[in-house]
Structure 1
Amino acid sequence: MRDTLDHELLLLFNTANQFRLLQNVENFHFEEDPLQANLIKTALATFTITNRLLSDIAYVPFNQDYVLTGSTTSTSKLFTEDVYVSTSFTPDQFLNRLRNLQSFKTFPIRFYKNEEGLAIAIPQISDYGKTSGICLFYIRNSTLEAMILNQLSKYNAQLEIRDNEDTLLFTSKPTSFMASKDDITLTIRSNIAPWTFIVRVAREQALLDSLNRLSKMQQMSTLVAICFVSILIFFFATINYKPIKRLQKLAGDLTFGPSDGSKSKGEFEEIENTLALLKYQNTDLASKLERSKSSEANIALQDLLSGRYKHLEDFNTVAAELSLEFFHSQFFVACILIQETNRDIDELAQLFHEELPDDLNCFYVLTPIPDQIYFINSIPDSYQSKIPEVYETMRDSVEANTGLNITVGLGSVVEGTALISQSFLEARTALDYRFVRGKNTTIVFSEVAKSISFSTTFPNLLLDQLKIALQASDIESIEELTKQLTDFLSQESIPLFLAKTLSFSAINLFFEHLPASSTIIDSQNELFVLSDFETVDEVIEALQSVKNRFIHLDRPAYRQNAELLLHEAIAYIKKHGFECGFTMQHVADHVSLQLPNLSLMFKEHTHITPLDYVTSLRMDAAKRLLEETDLPLKDISLQVGYYNISSFIRRFKQLNGITPGDYRKIRTHTPQSLYHSEQEIG
């Protein structure tokens, strides 16, 4: 239980650090740059979605009278009086404690005066030791209860969590536990935070009483049976004792127990305990890998949704290790709005996916936008006419089974991955028309567009000229062309959805011409922020803000930073690239870059993708092992990062033209080695 909770706490520390690095919160002032507040709120919402334990994240900046969460901005007074309401302090005392906090602290609170939970406060401390604010991670008591219930219920136990001041933070409440003076109490301290875990286990007195009532005849029968079995075990162990001792030694090594054969415990007991430990570790590792893979897949799909990938092949190459692949070059986005629900959004997304036809190549995306799920769909030409019927059938089925109010918006079919963001904005626009077309239905953007009249045409020429100016770094032309675009957006007749599409196309152009190591402009955040705008003025302000940040960017500093990040990425790959659980997302997280940015930066400086670089390192290592050792292929496969020996052989042959066994035969001229290695495959 301690390891599980410590793992979750470590994730919170990592999240707080990522938030500080990505958002540059040390220099944030709400009144000077309210647009950055939207980016910070989007980041908070994204981090909340990717951690299933969290219900909300808030950022409390120092020396400012505002607090930001994933969904809103409020004054500090309103926040402590109505949103995060402390159960131990008055609102003023709670706010004062937060603003003077210099280390990890946990506060029991009521979320919106209703749900009970814990607010875990982690200070945002810069590299110079200055505290700029506090990250508050809110965890419902019910969520914490559900996480630990499976482990505690089978022991009929109760868990308390207390802080270093002995303040009670949380108490589990299994229905079958009755506190008594005969309870067994265990006290364990966290390795990550100043928490103490107190576990109380009830004594099973009833079982002891039942055993005492057994008759002497039953006791004697049991004793005779035990003696007989013991004699048999002793007999067989004496005959074949050496293998058992070898197994015991291996078990002791695995559990860091005595390796000298001392009988601190029975051989069979030690082997049984070791097998149980290995089973637990394997199950825990599989669960962690699955959660990590799911989170990385969602991030990759968010990047695709925001137009980060210009070619389908680029996405499929990066996403192959995440079991993501699109088969067709035509795409459309479906936006599903679920109204007034408290159900888990990830479970609902899986339910929607199960109701869609098996022949529809699609994946769902969870975004910072609340109560909305997006599906990216890849289809052949023949499928276009079926789209509205397919999603209406799915909507009807889920609505009938769950009683939820569901509205679906469908974007247009576009060619290529670069235009997926356009279909996304169209799907959001279709949803906005639910107040006209009616809720609980499927709304198609192409039908909505017919009812929108406007006389202007999309200024493709202006965008082409802006692209040329950006390529030439012609600041004067960039200023002039951006002004022409904002003048175009200021026309009274232009529809809001057209303004959003044009603004995002321009923002993407700015993004494409930044160094890959720059995070000053995040097209993914800009897309989600744009989709929530309700006026053209907000769209114009966003475009001008991005243009200003681009013009004032210190490019020499970013070129130097790119070289440092590249060396750091290569060092990380060389150290961890041979681990079976290694993914490129791990590298991107290590250097604090989005995965597409990492790929662009790596290819820009080395002329190969990071995935190709990892593969070349693995293949070179495999060749050395084939030439210099007699290790079987399955061991070599694991040493160079492949769980599955078939995947290793297939990849080796794809790159070298021959199988690993044939390569060993040619390079070593040792038929016996080949015989042994091929025997391992069989």
Structure 2
Amino acid sequence: MKLNYFKSKLFIKYILSYLFMLLVPLVLLSVIIYNSAVSDLRSEIEQSHFNQLFQAKTIIDSHMKQLSDTASQVAYDEQLAKYRVHDPYYSLEAITALKKYKATSPIVSEMFLFFHNDESIYSSAGMTGLNVFNNKYNFKGWKPDEIVKDLNTVKYPVVRPTTLIGRNPTTSGTENVLAYLEPITPNNPNPYGTIMYLIRESELTGLIDSIIGNYQGSSYIFDNRGLVLASNSNLEKPLDSGTLRSLCDLSTGIHSVKLNGEPHSVVSVKSYRNGWDYVTLMPSSQFLSNVLHIRNLMLLMFSIVAVCGAAVAIILARKQFHPIIDLVEFANSKSKVGGVQAEPHMAGDELARIRTALQEYSSRADLQEPYARNQFLLMLLKYGNALSISKELQGSFDIRFDKAYHFAMMIGRDSVPEDHLDAHDWQTMIEQLAKVEFPELAACVYGVELPKPSQMALIVNFDLLEGMSDIDQYHGIVQKVHDNIVGLFRLDPVIGVGACYPDPDQLNQSFIEACSAFESRMFSGHGSITFFESLTSTPGETLWVPSSLLLKLSQSLKQGSYEVAAQTISEGMNYFQNPDLSVKLKRCVYFDILNTMLKTGLELGIDNLTADISMYDASNSLEELKLHFLSLASRLCAIVERKEKTEEHSLIEQVITYIDSHYMDHSLSLEMVACKYSISVSYFSRFFKEQMGINFVQYIWQKRMNAVINELVTTNDPLKDIIQRVGYLDTPNFIRKFKKETGLTPGQYRKLYSHAEGDDVSEDLTHSEL
């Protein structure tokens, strides 16, 4: 059957990738040209905008200066003197004069003259009493008594933005105005009156708009206190006070600001005459509309290149796609989907199949890597033979034995920690000591977690430093490890240290020695660090086997390490060759070695070793004695290994029995079970997964899930009580997980499968589940 390439998503991706490579240079070039055009145009428009706003500022400043000059002229105009204004004969001249002054300013809609403590106010329309004035001019937010107070007390020019509401009873509209109060005489600390100009807000903003020209923006005028004097906003959403304040605080120039989620070009100009700020906002999208023809040209170019490139991309993609098809067929041949062999070609899903296959292998490797690494190091400590392991395998575990000297250390504590935080610190220490380097001592340390809780081993490799003896460097490394553990992990460790060897194949001997030193410290109290070579000697040991050698023999048998036991027995047999040793003393040496092995067997629970033991006789050759000891050691080590496997099977049976009887206890945890059976948490986790095929949490969930299902179909008990009874306290989370696994909520499951008579699930339960 011919494969339809275009049904494959991966094939389409190949085509798109070639098009992408083809179009990238053009896209980059086009973007550079387009951005350059937009940037240049924007700079040109913004600079023109700035110049026009500066011009508008200059014109408004000149108008405001003209109002100040008018106030000065009024102050010295005899026609507007107080006595003439109040004189009925000259009052008409005063009104005519006010009309003349009002006409000189194009931005003033009305002009008023007020003398302090007077009951009347004068305008171009005539004299009006204050009561009549307040009835005619109703200002929003500016009460009549405040108006009178300001007219009587103002000593400096003041601008007050307000809203004029209804000039007369027949008018109901509103108009935003500026009330500009100028004292007379100006610049006099004791003015005798006030001129009030009413300026429409639209006059100022219209002036700005007429100068700037065609733009779809907003304009604002702020006073020296940051208040908005006039505004003409085209924004859909009004700006809040904080944003307005930030606009007022902008320095003179051109700025880019984001307002209401849209980028704007902001031009700000400050007037140093009266402290006012003139600000205009222009949406950045306006600049793009001016280069629309360039964008259209580029789109046309893209279309032409894409069509031409698509043909080339299809040809190249077909050539490159054939190896992928072969790889998919291989992945399908090695994998099954839902228990059924995968289809030869899963159209559109080739990459997913390859990825799934790789993820399956990768996840298995990732899950097993820590366990495999630790198991590899455990076997190395037990059997040695480091050099026989390939460099590739060592490299995959990030382990190297290329240094000059090697030794092992045993780290633990006197008792298993019961406190959770203390146990957590111990586990953290194990993780962080997986690999540690001490460059100053040319040493590299690898951590090995042991099955017993609160015990771990360290494998140390180091090169000799110039000017330092091997003993000093050896002791320095041990002390450095001890200090790091005490300083970083708040733990006070017990450390046993094995002898140092030049061959990594002898690490198993060093580990047995470290265990012996560790055990010796535990029973005799040699301090927090005990070196195997410094164990206390017994007087007269020069005549027979030293106690340290017997300790090493005992420990090797306990660990089931026949290689180390055989090496130790060979070392012990050398003492039979001492010419100063009498036959009686040789018998003592024989019984020392034999009793050590028998005592170790009894400690391990092996009590049937004496049946095949032949007594020492002077006619026995050393070779016969050695073979006899090796045979006994081999038997002991084999029994230890069989016992370990039996204990593993027995242990998992005990653990499963315990879990099956306590899974309804909500406090049941991995840590609690590991502590109960005296196993390290991480070792127990891996051991449980290896024996059961699923992890601890999944096993507990399955037990509780099955218990809930059983009670759902056999009882009418409320769901919450059932869930809590099986040890699950988080009811909503349980319901979500239940539905994810079964496709039904517990209530729906009960309705479908319940066999209990009169089964009734409440509506409240159903609603809570959903």
The normalised TM-score by structure 1 is 0.30
Which protein has the larger Cα radius of gyration, Structure 1 or Structure 2?
Answer: 2
